[in-house]
Amino acid sequence: MLPNILDIATDHQLTFQPRSFGKKQTLAKCPFCREDDQPRKRKKYYLSLNTQEQLFRCWFCGESGGVFRFIALLEGVSEKEVIDRYRKKSGSTYKQHPAEKLTSSQCKMMGLDAKPDWVDIRKFDYESYKELRELVWKAWKQFLWNEKRFAYQLLVAGVAGGTYGNVVEAIQEREKAIGSPLLAEVLDIYSLPERPAQINRLEALTLHMCDPLKYPYSPMEKQ
Ligand SMILES: [Zn+2]
């Protein structure tokens, strides 16, 4: 959310036209040209604030722009400085993207060297930060998908080989290590009355690898 232009103007003690104060268009004396400060223009208020869009314009000198430019002009600093300052401030209340919540061991498990320093990257380059966030999240989902596939194969092999108890333990160990549920999800898929074709293929392949004679593999055949 943008800073509130009316609050900014109030903080800087602008002189408002009383009857317009707080309305969508609030009028004030222009602090930039001060044309309406002259005694003969006592009733004039050249600066118009759009309090909904957070914009300003002076009808006399033509100075105009958004709230960041407004702050910059009032404080005599660059607009970039104002934006940077505002970003830093809003950073503390920023709602984290799920990718940023991944722990450093999760980041390492999925193949990153380390957990990205999100705060630093966000400060340095906002666009790159957003791109990296999406990339990491996509990689994590891919990682989880692979994990589920391995867990499913393990389950199928365990059932076929009579080591169900052991594989359940192994899957539980793994879900603890990656910090994401596995067992409940693979059991859900395993117990579906009709599994997706892709899962049937994976299952046929796994069984075939366990015992090629007992489970001949023909991927084209409906299981
Ligand atoms: Zn002006």
Model confidence pLDDT, tens digit, residues 138-156: 999 999 999 999 999 999 9
Q: Which of 2, 39, 7 is nearest to 26 (CA)?
A: 7
Task: Please provide the DSSP assignment of 186-220 as one string.
Answer: HHHHHT-SS--HHHHHHHHHHHHHH-TTTS---TT
191-199 long-range contacts, CB within 8 A, separation 24+: 199/152
pLDDT score of 186: 93
Residues at Cβ < 5 Å from ligand 1 ion: 30, 32-33, 58, 60-61
Centroid of ligand 1 to alpha carbon of 70 (angstroms): 12
> Distance between CA 156 and CA 143 in Å, rounded?
20
pLDDT score of 103: 93
Centroid of ligand 1 to alpha carbon of 59 (angstroms): 7
pLDDT score of 170: 96
Centroid of ligand 1 to alpha carbon of 6 (angstroms): 17
Centroid of ligand 1 to alpha carbon of 13 (angstroms): 16
Centroid of ligand 1 to alpha carbon of 169 (angstroms): 74
Centroid of ligand 1 to alpha carbon of 12 (angstroms): 15
Q: How confident is the model at residue 91 (pLDDT cuts 50, 70, 90)?
A: low
- 13-43 pLDDT, tens digit per residue, is 999 999 999 999 999 999 999 999 999 999 9
Domain range summary for the chain, segments of one domain joined by +: 5-91, 96-223
> Distance between CA 160 and CA 200 in Å, rounded?
15
pLDDT score of 1: 77
Centroid of ligand 1 to alpha carbon of 62 (angstroms): 6
Centroid of ligand 1 to alpha carbon of 31 (angstroms): 7
Nearest-5° Cα angle at 41, 36 to 47: 35
Centroid of ligand 1 to alpha carbon of 40 (angstroms): 16
Helix then strand then coil, % of the chain, to nearest 5: 55, 5, 35
- Distance between the two ends of the chain, CA-based, in angstroms? 55
Centroid of ligand 1 to alpha carbon of 1 (angstroms): 27
Q: Which of 32, 24, 28 is nearest to 13 (CA)?
A: 28
pLDDT score of 88: 77
pLDDT score of 93: 57
Q: Would the pLDDT of 223 be above 60?
A: no
Centroid of ligand 1 to alpha carbon of 95 (angstroms): 39
pLDDT score of 92: 55
Q: How confident is the model at residue 94 (pLDDT cuts 50, 70, 90)?
A: low
Looking at domain 5-91, its CATH class is alpha beta
What integer is the mean pLDDT of 86-96? Answer: 70
Which of helix, strand or coil describes residue 141? Answer: helix
Centroid of ligand 1 to alpha carbon of 30 (angstroms): 5
Spatial CB neighbours of 66, under 8 Å, sequence gap ≥ 6: 2, 54, 55, 56
Q: Would the pLDDT of 222 be above 70?
A: no
